[in-house]
A and B are shown apart, each in its own frame.
Chain A
């Protein structure tokens, strides 16, 4: 073992990095971007889940509970009629509502039983959890007043339900993410290889049009991406038994659109990398923020305002929402929200196809 030789290798490595500015920027910039994003997301004082309070109680206890909920900091509760609450639940405007029946006070005093009805939208586990927590906290105050009462809420779910596990919620989102992520990386690397081995130069010196190269690539990778999409979907539904009440063909189409978008995003972004090594580094910058902001883990509606705006321009947000709409809510193309999801994903596809085609010429010069 020669310290001299080891030092030569270490030194050469650092010299190489010194010349590779792009890698240095990514190496030292990407962690700050990701950590800032995560910090802002978790501590940025985002919106709390919205819920309704329907107080039909003739006695005085209902008002105590309603007041406790309305002053809660973990949810944003407001009083509304039962019909209004149901309508807003279905439209996705509120994540849930609590209904205090007309005999609420009477029952609480006579049978020492507090039995509110909690109606949850149910498609986002984080939101449901916040509401259940706020409701039980509001009743803790009441239990202190009345003494020795039992709290037994009657919880119903519009979508999903108590049998839903974490995978049922995340499965839908991950079907989109896995395909998007893998297809993006493979395309970006393949395109850079074309450039690195000099064959792109040959293609550009042939009668091939830019659009033909992009289309050829797109179709080739789309074949692979579609097979992968089908595999991911089949595995999720048949082996993992991820909950699905929607149309499998619709899921597949949305997934496939995301795969096609990923192919073209890979082609487009490979322009900004000189080597495969640099392309791989797009993962923390392109993929991780999308994972954090697309509503996969943290609901978009509870993000800090500026991040919500960012989430609303990320195509993955719509893909994830669309997949959840289909799989958890059973949405079809008659739903305006799903039309929006499909529209945005399709629009994104077209945008990146054009971006890939128009920037190709610059790439080889």
Chain B
């Protein structure tokens, strides 16, 4: 049942790509205003799950509900920000032009400056993206995802290639956004990032193996460190 308490509800979603099972009855809920960490090794199904939220993957079974609406629905997407794993930008445009474009297709261009300042790129706004460093491109890509002030932000490994200092700053800002009511889904395989999430979901072989706060997961596994909890809880055989 779709309720307004949840920003995202994924119910028993399955998806195959040929012989590969990408999602196997995956189920999870993200509450409004929380930072939810989707944790799992490479190829666990994190990206497929995120893509199913924005209608890029059509599930073979199960339902996806985003911001109270059963997906896929185009109008909901204007309230969702999506940052792909690869910094998907137009290399011939400047940082500002890229952010402006993604704002425009989502119907809001008043947040360009805020978004660029949020990722510390305002001073480099006139730089053509093709000339930016990898970390700057990642930041620019993030600015493109949040320029329209979405209610739900989907970040597919957003801090890959970002230096430690900026990573800390970004996490500060994610927390601030969450405090302001934005729901955030972050996929990662970095444990110290996972510790900063309100709740975590452990995904492997397309299945959600465990869900809960960091403390809950540690307790469930009976270990001290999140990394150990992850290893213990994901001790399942490949189906």
A17 vs B71: C-alpha distance in the bound complex, in angstroms? 40
17 A-B contact pairs sorted by A residue (CB < 8 Å): A197-B90, A198-B86, A198-B88, A199-B89, A202-B82, A202-B84, A204-B54, A204-B55, A205-B54, A205-B80, A206-B105, A207-B74, A207-B78, A208-B74, A208-B105, A209-B74, A365-B58
**Which residues of B are in contact with A by a Cβ distance under 8 Å?**
51, 54-58, 74-75, 77-78, 80, 82, 84, 86-91, 102, 105-107, 144
Tell me the complex Cα distance, A322–B90, Å.
39
Q: How near does chain B come to A74, taking the closest CB pair, in angstroms?
A: 56
Measured in the bound complex, the distance between the Cα atoms of B78 and A198 in whole Å is 19
- Chain A residues 183-203 with CB under 8 Å of chain B are 197-199, 201-203
CB-CB nearest in chain A for B98? A199
Asked if B90 and A199 sit within 8 Å, CB to CB, the answer is yes
CA A256 to CA B13, docked complex, whole Å = 48
Q: How many residue pairs, one in A and one in B, have C-beta atoms under 8 Å apart?
A: 50
Complex: how many Å from CA A323 to CA B80? 50
One digit per residue, 1 when the CB lies within 8 angstroms of any chain B CB and 0 when it does not, for chain A 284-297 equals 00000000000000
Within 8 A of B (CB), among A175-232: 197-199, 201-209
Tell me the dominant secondary structure on chain B's binding face: loop
Which residues from chain A contact B80 at a C-beta distance below 8 Å? 205
Report chain A residues within 8 Å CB of B77: 205-207
A122 to B89, CA, bound (A): 55
Contacts of B107 in A (CB 8 A): 207
Given contacts A207-B74, A207-B106, A207-B107, contact A197 B56 (CB under 8 A): no
> Which residues of B are found within 8 Å of A199, using beta-carbon distances?
88-90
**Given the known A-B contacts A198-B84, A201-B56, are A207 and B89 also in contact in the complex, defined by CB atoms under 8 Å?**
no
State A203–B88 Cα separation when bound (angstroms): 10
In the complex the two chains form, is A364's CB within 8 Å of B88's CB? no
Check if B78 sits within 8 Å of A206, measured CB to CB: yes
Residue from B54, B58, B107 whose CB has the most chain A CB atoms within 10 Å: B54
Which 6 pairs, one residue from A and one from B, show the smallest C-beta to C-beta distance?
A198-B88, A205-B54, A207-B78, A205-B82, A207-B77, A198-B86
A197-B89, A208-B105, A209-B74 in contact; A365/B84 too (CB < 8 A)? no
- Residues of A near any B CB (own CB < 8 A): 197-199, 201-209, 364-365
Contact assessment for A207 and B56 in the assembled complex, using a CB-CB cutoff below 8 Å: no
CB-CB nearest in chain A for B53: A205
With contacts A207-B106, A207-B107, A365-B57 taken as known, whether A202 is within 8 angstroms of B78 at the C-beta atoms is no
**Chain A residue with Cβ nearest B144:** A202
How long is the Cα–Cα vector from A206 to B79 in the complex, in angstroms?
9
Contacts of B55 in A (CB 8 A): 204-205
Nearest to B154 among chain A residues (CB) is A205
Partner of B84, one of A201, A207, A208: A201
CB distance from A191 to the nearest CB of B (A): 13
Chain A contacts for B75, CB-based, 8 A? 207
A58 to B52, CA, bound (A): 88
- Name A203's closest neighbour in chain B (CB-CB): B105
Separation in Å of the A34 CB from the closest CB of chain B?
35
Please give 17 more A-B residue pairs, beta carbons under 8 A apart, in addition to A199-B89, A207-B107.
A197-B88, A197-B89, A197-B90, A198-B86, A199-B88, A201-B56, A202-B102, A202-B144, A204-B56, A205-B80, A205-B82, A206-B77, A206-B82, A207-B106, A208-B105, A365-B56, A365-B57
Residues of B within 8 A of A364 (CB): 56
Residue of A nearest to B77 (CB): A207
In the bound assembly, the distance between CA atoms of A198 and B84 in angstroms comes to: 8
Find chain A residues with CB under 8 A from B57 CB: 365
Q: Which of A205, A208, A209 contacts B56 (CB 8 A)?
A: A205
Complex-state Cα separation, A199 to B92, whole angstroms = 13
Q: Chain B contacts of A205 at CB under 8 A?
A: 51, 54-56, 77, 80, 82
Minimum CB–CB distance from B81 to chain A (whole Å) comes to 9
CA distance A205 to B71 in the complex (A): 12
Neighbouring A residues of B74 by C-beta, 8 Å = 207-209
Q: Are the C-beta atoms of A197 and B54 separated by less than 8 Å? A: no
Nearest CB of B to A198, in Å: 3
Contacts of B58 in A (CB 8 A): 365
In angstroms, how far is the closest chain B Cβ from the Cβ of A273?
A: 19
A204 to B105, CA, bound (A): 11
| B contact residues around A203 at 8 Å (CB) | 105
Within 8 Å by CB of B88, from A201, A208, A365, lies: A201
Residue in B closest to A194 when the chains form the complex, CB atoms: B90
Give complex CA distance A197, B58 in Å.
22
Task: Write out the residue numbers on chain A whose beta carbons fall within 8 Å of the beta carbon of B90.
Answer: 197, 199
| B78 surroundings in chain A (CB, below 8 A) | 206-207
How long is the Cα–Cα vector from A188 to B4 in the complex, in angstroms?
Answer: 43
Chain B residues, Cβ within 8 Å of A208: 74, 105
Which residue of A is nearest B78, CB measured?
Answer: A207
Give chain A residues whose Cβ lies under 8 Å from the Cβ of B86: 198
Residue in chain A with minimal CB distance to B58: A365
Q: Chain B residues with Cβ under 8 A from A201's Cβ?
A: 56, 84, 88
Residues of B within 8 A of A197 (CB): 88-91
CB distance from B187 to the nearest CB of A (A): 15
Rounded to whole angstroms, the CA-CA distance of A201 and B86 in the bound complex is 11
Is there an interface contact between A202 and B106, defined as CB atoms closer than 8 Å?
Answer: no
A201 to B154, CA, bound (A): 14
Query: Distance in Å from the Cβ of B168 to the closest Cβ of chain A?
Result: 26
- Give the nearest-CB partner of A216 in chain B: B105
How far is A199 from B74 in the complex, measured between Cα atoms in Å? 17
A332 to chain B, nearest CB (A): 43
| Cα of A207 to Cα of B75 in the assembled complex, Å | 6
